[in-house]
Amino acid sequence: MTRLLKFRFYRSLTLLTSLGLSTACVTTSPTGRTQLQLVSEQSAIASSKQAYTQMLAPLAEENKVDSKPNIKRRVDEIAKPIIEQAINMRPDTANWAWELKIIDDPKTVNAWAMAGGKMAVYTGLIEVIKPNDDELAQVLAHEISHALAKHSVEKMSVSAATALGVQAIGVAADLPPIAMQGGALLAAMAVSLPNSRTMESEADRIGIELAARAGFNPHAAVTLWEKMGAASQSRQPQLLSTHPHPQARQMALKTLIPQMMPLYEQAQGN
């Protein structure tokens, strides 16, 4: 082993130790699926908080964070009842420092959520897709569901398991040139790297339920992806780069609507 490889090996061991690793696979609520969890959720939340701040800092300096009050107000109003339902589903998340930022980037059609409820929505999603409130609720509920289901924790754990490649992956993910190290780098990577089909299916299932319980029409989950598919004819929304094909998504969501309509109708009645 060369001196450089030895350095990277021991640095990786230090990284893994500093992340507060556990050695077990765990069954995660609300999915009931056994997940790899080398990184504890508590550690992932702390790392995500750091990464979130670092990722947004250069954008804030350019006045590209929460710079459009009307969009910010609309997104916050839609997100509030969904977050309330997320807390009902996982009561421990009431302790999360939920936060949602609007990034002013009309060319980026995307939204994401990190561990601990740190979220972002790009103005391009609003301006290109032009979702109505029910459709926008589906986007937000889907991303919130990734956090609820500990998908960032899972992706960080997979990355930690191959920590010798962290530096190379960081370059490949085209992360901004900011001083990220250790857990913060893994948390930023978790946003950039695609979710598995299993993760996407889980977030779809949980998200449409959260939105329905919050009083948003489940049929909008299908019309949202119809709009996404139409937008992909002229451009490739970044959101689609980490999600299955819109037509496959529509078909899967349609099968869930009959189960969700009673929840929606109950919420509307209340």
The residues annotated with a catalytic role in the active site are: 143
Number of neighbours of residue 99 by Cβ within 10 angstroms: 15
Compute the distance between CA of residue 192 and CA of residue 210 in angstroms, rounded to an integer.
24
| Omega before 30 within 30 of 0, i.e. cis | yes
Q: Write out the E strands in the chain.
A: 25-28, 33-36, 99-103, 111-114, 118-122
Report whether 110 contacts 238 (CB < 8 A).
yes
Q: Write out the E strands in 74-170.
A: 99-103, 111-114, 118-122
> For residue 139, how far is the Cα from the chain centroid?
10
Compute the distance between CA of residue 193 and CA of residue 241 in angstroms, rounded to an integer.
10
DSSP β-bridge partners for residue 36: 25
Compute the distance between CA of residue 270 and CA of residue 266 in angstroms, rounded to an integer.
6
